[in-house]
A = this chain, B = another copy of it.
Amino acid sequence: MKQIEGGITAVQGVQAAGICAGIKKAETKDIALIYTDTPATAAGVFTTNSVTAAPVLVCRKHLSDATAQAIIVNSGNANACTGDLGMTNAHRMAAATADQLDIEEEEVLVASTGVIGQQLQMQVIENGIQMAAKTLSSEGGDDAAEAIMTTDTFPKSTAIEIEVGGKTVRIGGIAKGAGMIAPNMATMLSFLTTDVNINSDTLQSALTRVVDNTYNLLTVDTDRSTNDTVLILATGNAENTEIANASGRDYEAFCDGLMFVCTELVKMLARDGEGATKLVEVVIKQAKNKEDAEKTARAVAESPLVKTAVFANDANWGRIMMAIGKSGAAFDPYQVDVLLGDYPLVKNGMDSGYDEEKATQLFDNDTVRITIDLRAGDAEITMWTCDYSYDYIRINADYRT
């Protein structure tokens, strides 16, 4: 496996664009377009929020044949809670894109992110789509990564090269996140491209499996968006023998690659959580079962008291024990170890006699790993989050102004 430059356009046959249409107040890019030279096999995973945005409904419909050739995305307006007009506008985004690219409307997937409850300015959007189509390029991956951002502070993009069935396969991805991120669709938007040759059911299986172990284990603030979407387009250009089943060496090799790309993106999303000063990895070991592992990880990763202590570089392990205890997982409190990196804070449920200054130093890092050993079984899990800082409040108290 090799990391390469170019993000989603590192994959041959993929073009992208990111332009400033004027949806947002600031002069920043706000429309992204992704296009494959030939129709691609497509799969998607969407928000479980029952207040579902119009573009998500359009995507689900257009994915019914499991192919697509373009993804049109706007930031600045989520097109959620917008009723019939919102649905009409989401369809119009697909139609305008299809028109520019001379493809069928059903081959266009749509995504929106931003403020909820306002109608799209369709004149601005349609002009933007025209502009984006004109600037499509095989070097446009970074522009697209930028154009999907809302409160993100940096674009999130990665690509790799792997071998599948003796052929070189590339996988690229971009994502945007920041706030309203919680399990069961963690990131708001992520778009993946690959040239692997795979059938549609198998692509969907691979995507679902990887999303469950990456985006769904990311939590920034427990809130779950109305628009969360992960889409993947597979062109087949790599000319490997088609992966036709969700098993076997080629399938596993592809899943490993996809897992790597999505893990990289998820770490970037956590690190760039609203107001985050560090990436926090919560590792659960020896849980009774997978469900308990996840419950425990989530209770710790979502605890505001733990997250503010991490922000303050404060080894307040009592808050970690409190969070483990409220999770509902089965364990004996006086069997639990808690480690910061490899340094034990808690031994058998009590103070390990750690050095306060050393713990503070270990917390004062870009990446903090908290390992919790429950000694209750053999299940383990890693979950990603960030700390809670003053800036989380500032960003979310000011977002609309």
Contact = CB atoms under 8 A, between A and B. Distances in A.
A180 B303 CA distance: 9
Contacts of A389: 393
A305 interface: yes
Interface string A208-245: 00000000000001111110000000000000000000
B350 A83 contact: yes
B331 A400 contact: no
A135 interface: no
A51 B397 contact: no
**Residue among A222, A322, A388, A400 with max Cβ neighbours from chain B (10 Å):** A322
A179 B78 contact: no
Interface in A175-227: 179-180, 182, 221-226
A312 B351 contact: no
A350 B221 CA distance: 25
Nearest to A86: B350
Interface in A104-120: 115-118
Interface stretch (A1-9, A160-168, A246-254, A313-321): A313-321
A225 B180 CA distance: 26
A contact face: mostly helix, strand, loop, or mixed: loop
A381 interface: no
B314 A117 contact: no
Given A312-B398, A322-B224, A393-B389, A81 B350 contact: yes
A88 interface: no
A373 to B, nearest CB: 15
A82 interface: yes
B81 A304 contact: no
Interface string A322-358: 1111101001011000000000001001110000000
Interface of A: 48-52, 78, 80-83, 115-118, 179-180, 182, 221-226, 302-305, 308-309, 311-312, 314, 316-319, 321-326, 328, 331, 333-334, 346, 349-351, 388-390, 392-394, 396-401
